Structure 1
Amino acid sequence: MSATIADPRSARPTSRRGGNLEKWGWMYMRASGVLLVVLIFGHLFVNLMTGEGIHQIDFAFVAGKLASPFWQWWDVLMLWLALIHGANGMRTIVNDYVTHKTTRSVLVWAVWLAAGFLIVLGTLVVFTFDPCLGVTPESILWADCQAA
């Protein structure tokens, strides 16, 4: 009994029409990975290398950054790309190692739901951040928040 393996370069019949989800996922991982390297190193450079370095990072520094639309969009883009990149990686791992179809489907749905929830929550935090929310007269931020 002999088994023949088809030549990998030979034309394979395609049974599906439409887009190839795995191909687009693979392309997304490469593109988002390159963009994330730029975004993350830019984030680290601004936070750790400019000004007073790590000693400048406090509530006021973060509040100041989140008051700027540029940094809001920078952080949201980094958040979205990182979470989708990570969720797609987890989807690939689940597809590779989970053999039971129902379990695989449940886990993939759980990964995407968790990523979606964190994207929505993170985006809301970035765009609705108010450093004066809940500030009382005893707080050191009281004078700054009254001036605003």
Structure 2
Amino acid sequence: MSAGQAQGVAIADPRTPIAPRSKRGGNLEKWGWIYMRASGVLLIVLIFGHLFVNLMLGDGIHGIDFGFVAGKFASPFWQWWDVLMLWLALIHGANGMRTIVNDYVTHDGTRRVLVWALWLAAGFLIVLGTLVVFTFDPCLGLTDQSAQWLQERCA
């Protein structure tokens, strides 16, 4: 007999699931769990590739300026690399926060509002970030001090 049972204190049963699982259709929690593992592995590759290119190649951190970013965003490869990293990271983070909200918020209405707010914020940031990456125009901020290759490209 444990010390808690000897004193007459019982450990409460774990909470039951909020909504009963449907016999038909997919299991959202299972797919969320799978997504977290798969996106986590892919994010490690994307983030370390991003850090290696930005910090180790060329002039390192001293070479990162407007021209460097403009040069990266001129390449469809780097545009898609950064957009994929953005999408995966935001969905991964929002799904993790959704799990925390589901675990700790007990009031159904509050939980629903918080989960909706998470997904709306993530969706807004995904749309905004994707627009920035694909509509980036380095010629808008062109000044006389800009890099020579940028002046030639925008002329």
Which interval holds the TM-score relative to the shorter structure? 0.7 to 0.9
Give the RMSD, CA atoms, in angstroms.
2.0
Q: Which residue of 1 aligns with 2:145?
A: 140
| 1:100-139 matched pairs, under 5 angstroms | 100-135=107-142, 139=144
* Stretches of 4+ aligned residues off by more than 3 angstroms: 142-147
Give secondary structure in 2 for the equivalent of 1:96: helix
Aligned residue pair count = 135
The one-letter code of the counterpart of 1:141 is S
Q: 1:89 to 1:147 in 2, by over 3 A?
A: closer
After TM superposition, list the pairs within 5 Å mapping 1:1-148 onto structure 2.
16-135=23-142, 139-141=144-146, 144-145=150-151, 147-148=153-154
Query: Contact (CA 8 Å) 1:29, 1:85: kept in 2 or not?
Result: yes
Task: Write the letter of the residue equivalent to 2:67.
Answer: A
CA separation in 2, counterparts of 1:15 and 1:69?
A: 42
Check the 8 A contact 2:67/2:147 in 1, yes or no: no
Q: CA deviation at 1:132?
A: 1.1
Note the C-alpha offset of 1:66.
0.5
Q: Aligned partners of 1:93 and 1:117: how far apart in 2?
A: 21
Q: Deviations for 1:19-51, whole angstroms, at most 9, x for unmatched residues?
A: 000000000000000000000000000000111
Q: Which runs of 5+ in 2 are unaligned?
A: 1-12, 14-20
Distance in 2, matches of 1:140 and 1:125, equals: 23
Gaps of 5+ in 1: 6-13
Cα distance in structure 2, aligned partners of 1:108 and 1:40: 26
Q: 1:41-74: CA deviations, max 9, x gaps?
A: 0000000011111111111001100100000000
